[in-house]
Amino acid sequence: MAPFIESVLEQVKGGVAEALLPERIEQICRELNYVWRDCTLNPVTTVYAFLRQVLAGNIACDHVPHLVDLDVTGEAYCKARARLPVELFQRLMEAVARAVGAQVPACWRGHRLWHMDGSACSMPDTPQLQGAFGQSGAQRPGCGFPVARLLTLFDASTGFLLRVLPAPLRSHDLSRVQRVHEAFQPNDVVVGDRGFCSYAHLALLNLAGVFAVFRIHQATIVSFKKGRPHSPQKRAKNVPRVKGLPMSRWVQSLGRHDQIVEAFKPTQQPSWITPEHFARLPASMFLRELRYRITQPGFRVREVTLVTTLLDARRYPAAELAKLYLNRWQIETNLRHLKQTLRMDVLRTKTVDGIHKELAMFAIVYNLVRCVMLRSAKRQGVPATRTSFIDAQRRLCHAPLNAAPRNLIVVPHRPGRCEPRACKRRPKQYDLMNKPRRQLQQALIAKQITS
């Protein structure tokens, strides 16, 4: 095994290191009936070269042989990586996710806390990827790039990435949310934005014993008036719905802008849930609605309304729930590390299987960096999210074998930090491509001929 990989596994240790051992990789290949030759670019070497490539910032394939000191070409490495089954990378990602999931503590009032959010990443403009993922409707054909919609799940206390699920751009996050539920255990708490707020999703989580704290959907009418009327789901024939009334029934007031309501199962089945799961949903359920104002500078939103299945106001005060949702911003920092620091915002492979392999390797590398951060945080006595991600990445990428443990940079605690949403660095003054490249090339050639 190469000294680099020995150094990586030495720094992460535990179940995560065991999931990436050479014998484990070969075992998965045999279980998948994958046959390989005993050559330089065998499955173990290729997986480790891929890991080093992503850890170094997703560099070009031609650079990888020099980086890992292999007497092969970049083309040979690309072909070896393409030959490996996509299931190999998915199983390795799942094994690493299980290993880091075992380290997730109950960090909030006796609950494990999860952050769920959607994101996106771009990829090369090939017909296969265009057909599988699609591109933005604001761009003309041949002028844009395919974009994958990602659904992610992070542990709030350690920042570990437990799930990353790609889908076509024109798909809703809820279409894959049931695959994310597999990571939950009873008594967990999941926090998400209003894209995840629906009766069906809240009911599914409630059936699994999982609590939810979501920002309420913008189309939901909320009124905190005591005893207020509501518009029922089922109405008599030819009786129109009363506009402007909430669909939920008022039950109890817990304080100013804090109440318990009874929500009712929708009559129409959502497209993302199967008929069997929809039939299991209860006819109604009790939910808690609360609203608070944000006075902190830098926030675009001044008023937030939450819905949660945490009904006990004494154990879960409204102020604590507001703080809990405010800390959801940490997932944006995690996504920035994943997409900007590790450079996952633009993927490089040109096939659908290659995209899935690349995303799986990014998830593995991200969790390896988080393992280094967690070990250093325990040694330094600070929260895991306070240690520097990029410093841990550099440490993992360049630490020599048998190196003594070193402390990482601790990020200052800056509550209320306010930064403008603007870029100071100006882009180059080139026109944007508004026609396919081939048409622009022909226009340039015709211009040269006439001149």
Q: How is residue 327 annotated by DSSP?
A: G
Q: Are strands 189-192 and 113-122 parallel, antiparallel or unpaired?
A: parallel
- Same-domain pairing of 129 and 160: yes
- Percentage with pLDDT > 70 across the chain: 96
Last residue of a domain, one of 333, 358, 379: 333
- Same-domain pairing of 184 and 292: yes
- Same-domain pairing of 270 and 367: no
Q: What is the mean pLDDT of residues 115-143?
A: 91
* Structural domain boundaries enclosing 67: 3-95+348-398
* 103 has pLDDT over 80: yes
pLDDT value of residue 365: 96
Q: What is the mean pLDDT of residues 222-227?
A: 92
pLDDT value of residue 300: 64
- Same-domain pairing of 257 and 376: no
369-397: pLDDT as tens digits: 999 999 999 999 999 889 999 999 999 98
pLDDT value of residue 243: 76
Closest CA to 281 of 301, 258, 260, 264: 264
Direct distance between the N- and C-terminal alpha carbons of the chain, in angstroms, rounded to an integer: 62
Distance, CA of 162 to CA of 364 (rounded, Å): 10
321-371: pLDDT as tens digits: 999 998 998 999 999 999 999 999 999 999 999 999 999 999 999 999 999
**116 assigned to some structural domain:** yes
Tell me the pTM: 0.92
**421 assigned to some structural domain:** no
Q: What is the mean pLDDT of residues 7-16?
A: 87
Query: Helices H, strands E: what count in the chain?
Result: 16, 9
Q: What is the mean pLDDT of residues 294-298?
A: 69
- Same-domain pairing of 8 and 152: no
- Same-domain pairing of 166 and 55: no
Number of independent structural domains in the chain:
2
Q: Which residues contact 384 (CB under 8 A, 6 or more apart)?
A: 157, 158, 159, 370, 373, 374, 377
Average pLDDT, the chain: 90
Domain of 289, CATH number, reads: 3.90.350
* 259 has pLDDT over 90: yes
Looking at 76-80, 89-93, 203-207, 405-409, which range is the least confident one? Answer: 405-409
- Same-domain pairing of 65 and 201: no
